[in-house]
């Protein structure tokens, strides 16, 4: 593992020298480390690049790390990872991708992750993306599919931390009765970066609930577009909120939509886009912060 990989892993997966539980590290399109444990079985997928990860009954909160890194341009990585979580099992899954370019050639990572949670299973899914290096285009296309059976719970915390030139993000979820989905997405774009994020959530079972929150910061000439569609097919609750801070010549589009297919589907959406409030900056400046420090503190707080 070279120093670039180490740095990328620290950024996107909180790597501190070793993985405690089950893990699989993908570097420049190839698996370079893989470890299963008593409750987590990781195996290469047959016929496709990627993994089948089975989190077995009895798993009580183990962390599974499956990050990917690209350390130079000229690589177009595609990976299919399927996560099968047994009924009642609990786990934290850490994924994400770091891309570094320094030979002037573009690089891309497309991660297609599918989650199949059995009844009562609980997963916290943390996924971060970041880029670094020269002016070459760094692109990501994360696609996430989530299938929650009765009373399953998935908490997804996803973030794009900057340095990604193009991002096309797609998240789809289908929830059975009593299942719950909490999803927080944080996107930061700067320069001429572009990011597109689309959520599609179907609440099929009685008592299903989904909470989607997107926090976006768009600076310089960057562009972002956010769309969400929540469909309620049963007595259920769905809430989508998109907040965006825009500065300089950046642009953000937000298009939340709701589809009620049942009289007892309670669906709400909110979207707010604006620049950093001048009064917030002034207040922080009266506390001794400079204009730039105040803006940075506000953005960090907004994204936290």
Partner 1 sequence: MLEVRDISWQAPGGEQVLDRVSLHVKAGGFTAVTGPNGSGKSTLLKIIAGLERPAGGEILLEGEDISSLDVTARAQKGVCLAFQQPVRFKGFTVGRLLELAAGRTLSQEQACALLAQAGLCGREYLGRQADGSLSGGEMKRLEISTVLARKGRLLLFDEPEAGIDLWSFSGLVSVFKALKRQGGKSLLLVSHQERLLETADEILVLEKGRITEQGPPAKVLPRLSLSCPGCGRGEAVPL
Nearest distance, CB of residue 289 and partner 1, angstroms: 7
Tokens matching residue 175? 């929830």
Q: What residues between 217 and 246 interact with partner 1 by CB under 8 A?
A: 243
92, 288, 295, 296: which one binds partner 1 (CB under 8 A): 288
Task: Extract the tokens encoding 148.
Answer: 């929650």
**Cα distance from N-terminal residue to C-terminal residue, the chain:** 30
Q: Are 170 and 198 in contact (CB under 8 A)?
A: yes
Count CB-CB contacts under 10 A for residue 33: 12
Separation CA 216–CA 189 (nearest Å): 8
By CB under 8 A, which span of 3-11, 24-32, 262-270, 272-280 interacts with partner 1?
Answer: 272-280
Give residue for tokens 């506390």.
Answer: 287
How many DSSP H helices and E strands does the chain contain? 3, 21
Name the segment binding partner 1 (CB under 8 A); options: 98-106, 132-140, 164-172, 278-286.
278-286
Nearest-angstrom CA–CA distance, 44 and 24: 10
Mark 132-171 with x for binding to partner 1 (rule: CB under 8 A) and - for no binding.
----------------------------------------
Under the binding rule (CB under 8 A), the answer on residue 286 touching partner 1 is yes
C-beta closer to partner 1: residue 271 or 303: 303
Q: Is 46 in the site for partner 1 (CB under 8 A)?
A: no
Do residues 100 and 75 touch, judged by C-beta distance below 8 A? no
Tell which one of 264, 268, 285, 296 touches partner 1 (CB under 8 A): 285
Contact between 289 and partner 1 (CB under 8 A)? yes
Closer CB to partner 1, 34 or 213, in the complex = 213
User: From the CB of 189, what's the least distance to partner 1, in Å?
Assistant: 18
Query: Which of 25, 117, 267, 284 forms a contact with partner 1 (CB under 8 A)?
Result: 284
Contact indicator for 154, 127 with CB cutoff of 8 Å = no
Task: For residue 275, state whether it binds partner 1 (rule: CB under 8 A).
Answer: no
- Reduced to 3 states (helix: H, G, I; strand: E, B; else coil), residue 278 is helix
What is the closest distance, in whole angstroms, from the C-beta atom of residue 296 to partner 1 in the complex? 11
Q: Report CA-CA distances (Å) from 146 to 155, 193, 271.
A: 11, 27, 24
Applying CB under 8 A, the residues found at the interface with partner 1 are 215, 243, 277, 279-280, 282-291, 297-298, 300-304
């Amino acid at each position: 593992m070279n120093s670039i990989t180490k740095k990328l892993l620290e950024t996107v997966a909180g790597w501190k020298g070793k993985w405690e539980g089950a893990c699989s590290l993908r570097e420049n399109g190839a698996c370079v480390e893989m470890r299963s444990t008593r409750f987590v079985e990781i195996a290469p997928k047959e016929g496709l690049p990627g993994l089948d990860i089975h989190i077995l009954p009895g798993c009580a909160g183990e962390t599974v790390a499956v990050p990917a890194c690209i350390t130079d341009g000229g690589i177009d990585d595609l990976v299919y990872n399927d996560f099968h979580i047994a009924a009642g099992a609990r786990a934290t899954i850490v994924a994400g991708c770091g891309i570094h370019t320094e030979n002037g050639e573009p690089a891309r990572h497309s991660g297609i992750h599918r989650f199949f949670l059995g009844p009562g299973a609980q997963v916290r899914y943390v996924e971060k993306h970041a880029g670094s290096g020269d002016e070459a285009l760094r692109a990501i296309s994360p696609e996430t599919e989530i299938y929650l059976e009765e009373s399953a719970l998935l908490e997804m915390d996803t973030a794009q931390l900057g340095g990604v030139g193009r991002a096309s993000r797609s998240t789809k979820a289908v929830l059975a009765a009593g299942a719950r989905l909490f999803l927080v997405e944080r996107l930061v774009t700067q320069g001429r970066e572009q990011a597109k994020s689309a959520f599609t959530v179907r609440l099929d079972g009685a008592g299903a609930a989904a909470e989607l929150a997107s926090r976006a910061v768009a600076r310089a000439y960057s562009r972002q577009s956010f769309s969400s569609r929540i469909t309620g097919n049963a007595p259920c609750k769905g809430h989508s909120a998109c907040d965006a801070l825009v500065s300089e010549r950046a642009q953000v589009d937000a298009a939340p939509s709701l589809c009620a297919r049942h009289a007892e589907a309670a669906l709400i959406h909110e979207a707010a886009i604006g620049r950093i409030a001048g009064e917030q900056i002034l207040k922080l400046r009266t506390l001794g912060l400079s204009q730039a420090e105040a803006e940075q503190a506000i953005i960090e707080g907004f994204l936290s």
